[in-house]
């Protein structure tokens, strides 16, 4: 039985807790959150105990930690967990600072603990099927990747101010998709950004709409387009064209109802946001983590992946800010 | 806390057990099955105890029973549960005999217990959305219903021999869909049947392919087509046309991947069979049952519904056997 | 050069004229219509001459006739054309009376002229592709056919009164689809009908909504559902399930635009009515006819097919009127 | 009656000839082609006469010319037609040289003749519907455009050598779509290119796979991805996201057949190449031209549009060659 401490009892913490307690061989022992009522409610729901960061790390019976607290706490908690020899499940991003993320990668490697970074999209059944089918050779050599990634609405400007900017906060997922799907590394990044949704976002020094182009070592091309606001909800698609064909990953929708009226044929909007769209992905991700720490097998989304995605996000930010192509 | 006894530890019993233990306010206390190892394994998985039918009914702490054992046990268990004042969740069909099913309906009514019959399709998000949208008036008055219901493969002939025939065993679900969606009662039933899949089914006195037409009191028309075997898997669709439009309920598929190759554009087959297709429906059904017995609210799928569907199945069987239209 | 006389300058006559003049090796010489202005306008458009039925048949230079006049003129014109040794393209139905249709079939056979009956659906690229793919063995042995056939709106009641009833007027196309796709003959027909669209249709002794079941010699099953009015337009679909899979023929739509708004995902309604939906089919049908009479090759849709479809329509009418199964 | 001379009797010349002769009020008088047998065959098909460039321009009865000859002849023929006061229908591009294209625009303006450049995609029913629906306000203000444009296979390398490069030869259509759909002008262009299909294309100094990003004056973003070879055929899609929703223009396919087999659900590949995909567009384009010269109304795709698209192609070529962002 592996005992686990969870940091963060907010929206994502609740999801990870619910998925964690369904796994065999693990027990959620502690919940830690700066907001005491949240910690207490979540702990009560799962028969866990509220405690402090210090106490959690000091308890030798804790074998693993799940980090779902705010981004600025990630690196510190990773470093402490590595030092304490505890396995780590940490939400993306590792950190907003590349040097600190590198330090995390090194600490984890040195400690020899398992560390999974929460790029949950890789565990989504649709996205994972595309990856598996590329690997099976179904479309030959991948050549072009087009990623569309749009949120249903922009977060509060206060959140944006401390988010590290749209490239680190939002596109970091898309940069990970790029590396995973094309299985190649970037040699150049070009990022265009525009503020079309809300002028307050521009005042906060950020953009809400982006268009990124990446060229890989082997000459493959990737285009990413994102927006902080799609009127029709959460839009998470990509398509990859290879020498023998194309695979498209489409949106999921709540029901398979089609309606024919005097005006139009209509079907459902996509699943509304990430909690709905990636519900299965989060569950599969947690099962994968528990299996990895139970069996000592490697995880699919490592701190090194988190670092690579962050480096792309940093390059994209630079490209956008300075209006130039950034070579890597 | 409502304590529950589960009868039947087979495929469907396992699903109901897993869904039951997720509900707040209930506890799976007993598992009963003639096959002891199955009962023991399932009981162990959920911290329940293996016991006998008699002991389960004799325990006054048991507030509800879930019946997932073989069809020939349903009526007896319903009658005993009603007599013992325990709430009932029972898989379809109530019984293969209309008189016995009627007796069950009367016993349940007299006892005043809640009794849900497992027409899980009504709880499927896609099917339920169609029903809700009809009720909202989106397609005006419903006029024509077309139901397509095909299994991926025929069950063993031994099963078919004791199944009551395809109309009671398989189409009973479709007859329930008919009543629910058109919200009307049948005045005539015509059933055609053919043995096209496996001659052994004909030797067992049954058919594997059917075409049923029902006319309702208000002149609405319903056509049902079924097969014991679809090469492409489980096919569960219906469409209802009304005075102002049409609603279609389509199949669900595992992923939203589309592939373009030199030959074709391809997408996934439907979810393979009922365990996959109705996974969500079973969970919602159980939550609905627990909510009903907790709050004393009515259930959506009653023994009366089970009886009505059975009467249609009996009429269809008669129509097929005697080659005539059966008026109700 | 084959010179052609066209009977009927109405809606369908115009289409046939336009398609005819595009064919190599033929010339539209005469247009005949009881309504002189229509005949004159259409003749002028294509450089043809207006004449009478008698004159058209008396002209030995006329090698073929196209019959697009009202149904009650078909048999007479077919018989005259056969007698005169002229090839025949005639709109469905051959006649509303089986005996007269039979006489036409015999006269045509005796005369040795080519005679095509306008079951244009067989020439539709989508429908024809399904037929070809069945013949290629893609779905094994066909077993079940489901035909959906709905008009956007009911014709005037005066038309209905002289139409021969919905089974001869509207379903005759579907009966032809049945024979063509299942490549089998009916042994029994059961037809339900209801008047749900317009009470005036019931007063005229007809129905507007039907559900027909046909069983074939080899036990295959076919269900047809039709309505005189679909709020969303013209609905022309069928699906055929075989031992190895299923083929669906879907509706065509004007554009491939999909719209995502805050409420729904929408796409186009089907092509509005038969002139739009079967525009290509009519063109291909005429090219097939001209090719047949030029090369002396057989046509795909013969008077015998027209007769068979009419017999099914008569059986369905009887089934509906007498409330019984009709064996053939 | 407007008499017309056609230059070019190749693949596209044949299409324009066939569409031209269907228009009321026009007559195809001359066919001109350096390859005499082609000119003769096409002239014979439509009852036209073969002549020389000089004779065609010298004939005062010629009111309009259709230019479908090789790209290097376009500018010269446009200038001569303008000087002779004849209306012009010219295939894209105007010329590979911006200065010459400008001269054409000026000559046409000065002469006051109607001149249509063959951006046939604007006349495609699907694409035109998207444009009309944007203008109706359905998706609010357009913000992001993603264009996918792929050919089924690369042309011969000899063609590529004199094509002006992929940006002028192939993407010129996509640059026109960009201007038309976003209704805005570019301020910067960034083009990535790669040779992934055929090394001979790289040896010829060109690329076969591109990724272009354009920013407009009002900050709108456009991404274009193209390939000379898609294994699954001709891929012509775009989607435009606006403040209130998204419109997608999808591929057309030959039939609406869907097949379900034991392995997959399959549908047709897109229409194979531009002759099939844009068959309707070419017909509508020619009708629009004839209507414009008959009624003196403006055309939708002008020489000015041709010039603007060429400038974008030139900027993209520069961006790709010099590895930098090009500001306009």
pLDDT in tens, D46-55: 999 999 999 9
In sequence order, which residues have a C-beta less than 8 Å from that of residue B291 and are 6 or more positions away? Answer: B297
CATH class of segment(s) A122-273+308-327: alpha beta
Rg (CA), chain C: 20
Superfamily of domain D2-113: NAD(P)-binding Rossmann-like Domain (3.40.50.720)
Do residues B142 and B219 touch, judged by C-beta distance below 8 A? no
> Would an 8 Å CB–CB cutoff place C328 in contact with chain B?
no
Predicted confidence (pLDDT) per residue in C218-269, tens digit: 999 999 999 999 999 999 999 999 999 999 999 999 999 999 999 999 999 9
- Which of D 219-248 lie inside 8 A of B, CB atoms? 230-232, 235
A262 closest CB neighbour out of C231, C253, C267: C231
In sequence order, which residues have a C-beta less than 8 Å from that of residue A132 and are 6 or more positions away? Answer: none
Q: What is the pLDDT of residue B292?
A: 98
Task: Tell me the sheet residues that pair with A237.
Answer: A148
Asked if C256 lies within 8 A of D130 by C-beta distance, the reply is no
Q: Which chain B residues are Cβ-neighbours of C215 within 8 angstroms?
A: 192, 194, 211
Do residues D29 and D49 touch, judged by C-beta distance below 8 A? yes
In sequence order, which residues have a C-beta less than 8 Å from that of residue B76 and are 6 or more positions away? Answer: none
C-alpha to C-alpha distance for C201 and C175, rounded to whole angstroms: 22
> Would an 8 Å CB–CB cutoff place C262 in contact with chain A?
yes
> Would an 8 Å CB–CB cutoff place C257 in contact with chain A?
no
Rg (CA), chain D: 20
Predicted confidence (pLDDT) per residue in C158-216, tens digit: 999 999 999 999 999 999 999 999 999 999 999 999 999 999 999 999 999 999 999 99
B225 closest CB neighbour out of C146, C195, C245: C146
Angle (CA) A277-A282-A288 rounded to 5° is 145
pLDDT band at D300 (very low <50, low <70, confident <90, very high): very high
C-alpha to C-alpha distance for A225 and D93, rounded to whole angstroms: 29
- Kind plus residue range of the DSSP H or E element containing A146: strand A142-150
C-alpha to C-alpha distance for D184 and D207, rounded to whole angstroms: 27
C-alpha to C-alpha distance for B35 and C279, rounded to whole angstroms: 65
> Would an 8 Å CB–CB cutoff place B258 in contact with chain A?
yes
Predicted confidence (pLDDT) per residue in D205-246, tens digit: 999 999 999 999 999 999 999 999 999 999 999 999 999 999
The residue ranges of DSSP E strands in D70-206, in sequence order, are: 87-91, 115-118, 142-150, 186-194
Collapsed DSSP state (helix, strand, coil) of residue A4: strand
> Would an 8 Å CB–CB cutoff place C211 in contact with chain B?
yes
Q: What is the pLDDT of residue B183?
A: 96
Q: Which chain D residues are Cβ-neighbours of B260 within 8 angstroms?
A: 230-232, 235, 269
Asked if D268 lies within 8 A of B267 by C-beta distance, the reply is no
pLDDT, mean of residues D265-286? 97
Closest CA to D234 of D175, D173, D176: D173
Q: What is the pLDDT of residue A16?
A: 98
C-alpha to C-alpha distance for C263 and A264, rounded to whole angstroms: 12
pLDDT band at D187 (very low <50, low <70, confident <90, very high): very high
> Would an 8 Å CB–CB cutoff place A132 in contact with chain D?
no
> Would an 8 Å CB–CB cutoff place C268 in contact with chain A?
yes
pLDDT, mean of residues C298-320? 98
Q: Which chain C residues are Cβ-neighbours of A230 within 8 angstroms?
A: 260
C-alpha to C-alpha distance for A79 and A88, rounded to whole angstroms: 10
Q: What is the pLDDT of residue A34?
A: 96
Q: Which residues of chain B have pLDDT under 70?
A: none
HEC string for C224-277: EEEECCCCCCCEEEEEEEECCEEEEECCCCCCCEEEEECCCEEECCCCCCHHHH
Predicted confidence (pLDDT) per residue in D111-137, tens digit: 999 999 999 999 999 999 999 999 999
C-alpha to C-alpha distance for D262 and D259, rounded to whole angstroms: 10
Residue A253 to chain C, least CA–CA distance (Å): 10
pLDDT band at D25 (very low <50, low <70, confident <90, very high): very high
Q: What is the pLDDT of residue B98?
A: 96
Other beta carbons within 10 angstroms of residue B6's beta carbon come to: 29
Predicted confidence (pLDDT) per residue in C15-62, tens digit: 999 999 999 999 999 999 999 999 999 999 999 999 999 999 999 999
- Kind plus residue range of the DSSP H or E element containing C4: strand C2-7
Asked if B269 lies within 8 A of D264 by C-beta distance, the reply is yes
Locate the chain C residue with the closest alpha carbon to B235. Answer: C246
Q: What is the CATH number of domain D122-281+308-327?
A: 3.30.360.10
Predicted confidence (pLDDT) per residue in A233-291, tens digit: 999 999 999 999 999 999 999 999 999 999 999 999 999 999 999 999 999 999 999 99
Locate the chain D residue with the closest alpha carbon to A319. Answer: D325
Asked if B248 lies within 8 A of A259 by C-beta distance, the reply is yes
The DSSP secondary structure of A235-272, one letter per residue, reads: EEEEEEEETTEEEEEPPP-S--EEEEESS-EEEPPPPS
C-alpha to C-alpha distance for D246 and D237, rounded to whole angstroms: 13
Do residues D317 and D165 touch, judged by C-beta distance below 8 A? yes
Q: Which chain D residues are Cβ-neighbours of B231 within 8 angstroms?
A: 260-262
Q: What is the pLDDT of residue D94?
A: 96
Task: Kindly report, as residue ranges, where domains of CATH 3.30.360.10 are found in chain B.
Answer: 122-281+308-327
Predicted confidence (pLDDT) per residue in B34-62, tens digit: 999 999 999 999 999 999 999 999 999 99
pLDDT, mean of residues D53-64? 97
Predicted confidence (pLDDT) per residue in A93-105, tens digit: 999 999 999 999 9
Task: Kindly report, as residue ranges, where domains of CATH 3.40.50.720 are found in chain B.
Answer: 2-113
C-alpha to C-alpha distance for B252 and B273, rounded to whole angstroms: 11
> Would an 8 Å CB–CB cutoff place C159 in contact with chain A?
no
ipTM of the shown complex: 0.95
What is the percent of chain D where pLDDT is above 70?
100
Q: Which chain C residues are Cβ-neighbours of A253 within 8 angstroms?
A: 265
pLDDT, mean of residues C122-145? 98
In sequence order, which residues have a C-beta less than 8 Å from that of residue B299 and are 6 or more positions away? Answer: B114, B115, B116, B288, B289, B292
The DSSP secondary structure of D276-317, one letter per residue, reads: HHTHHHHHHHHHHHHHHHHHTPPPSS-HHHHHHHHHHHHHHH
> Would an 8 Å CB–CB cutoff place C202 in contact with chain B?
no
Locate the chain B residue with the closest alpha carbon to D153. Answer: B262
Please tell me which chains touch C, using 3 or more CB pairs under 8 Å as the contact test: A, B, D
D259 closest CB neighbour out of C247, C251, C255: C247
Q: What is the pLDDT of residue B169?
A: 96
Closest CA to D328 of D315, D317, D309: D315
Q: What is the mean pLDDT of chain C?
A: 97
Q: What is the pLDDT of residue C99?
A: 97
Q: Block means of pLDDT (10 residues each) for chain A, length 328 residues?
A: 97 97 95 97 97 97 97 97 98 96 97 98 98 98 98 96 96 98 97 97 98 98 98 98 98 98 97 96 98 97 97 98 97
């Amino acid at each position: 039985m592996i005992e686990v401490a969870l940091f963060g009892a907010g929206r994502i913490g609740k999801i990870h807790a619910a998925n964690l307690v369904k796994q065999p061989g693990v027990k959620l022992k502690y919940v830690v959150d700066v907001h005491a009522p949240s910690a207490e409610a979540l702990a009560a729901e799962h028969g866990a105990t509220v405690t402090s960061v210090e106490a959690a790390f000091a308890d030798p019976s804790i074998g693993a930690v799940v980090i779902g607290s705010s981004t600025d706490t990630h690196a510190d908690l990773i470093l402490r967990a590595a030092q304490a020899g505890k396995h780590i499940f940490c939400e993306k991003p590792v950190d907003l600072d590349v040097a600190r993320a590198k330090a995390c990668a090194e600490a984890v490697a040195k400690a020899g603990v398992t560390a999974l970074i929460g790029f949950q999209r890789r565990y989504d059944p649709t996205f994972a099927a595309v990856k598996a089918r590329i690997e099976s050779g179904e479309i030959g050599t991948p050549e072009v990747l087009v990623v569309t990634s749009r949120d249903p609405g922009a977060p509060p400007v206060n959140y944006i101010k401390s988010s590290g900017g749209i490239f680190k906060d939002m596109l970091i997922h898309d940069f990970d998709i790029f590396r995973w799907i094309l299985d190649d590394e970037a040699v150049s990044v070009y990022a265009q950004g525009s503020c079309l949704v809300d002028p307050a976002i521009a005042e906060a020094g950020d953009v809400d709409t982006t268009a990124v182009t990446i060229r890989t070592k082997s000459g493959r091309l990737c285009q990413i387009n994102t927006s902080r606001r799609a009127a029709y909800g959460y839009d998470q698609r990509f398509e990859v064209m290879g020498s023998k064909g194309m695979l498209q990953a489409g949106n999921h929708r709540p029901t398979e109802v089609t309606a024919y009226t005097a005006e139009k044929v209509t079907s459902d909007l996509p699943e509304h946001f990430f909690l709905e769209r990636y519900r299965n992905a989060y569950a599969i991700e947690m099962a994968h983590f528990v299996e990895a720490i139970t069996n000592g097998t490697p995880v699919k989304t490592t701190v090194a992946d988190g670092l690579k995605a962050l480096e792309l996000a940093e390059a994209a930010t630079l490209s956008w800010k300075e209006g130039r192509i950034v070579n890597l």
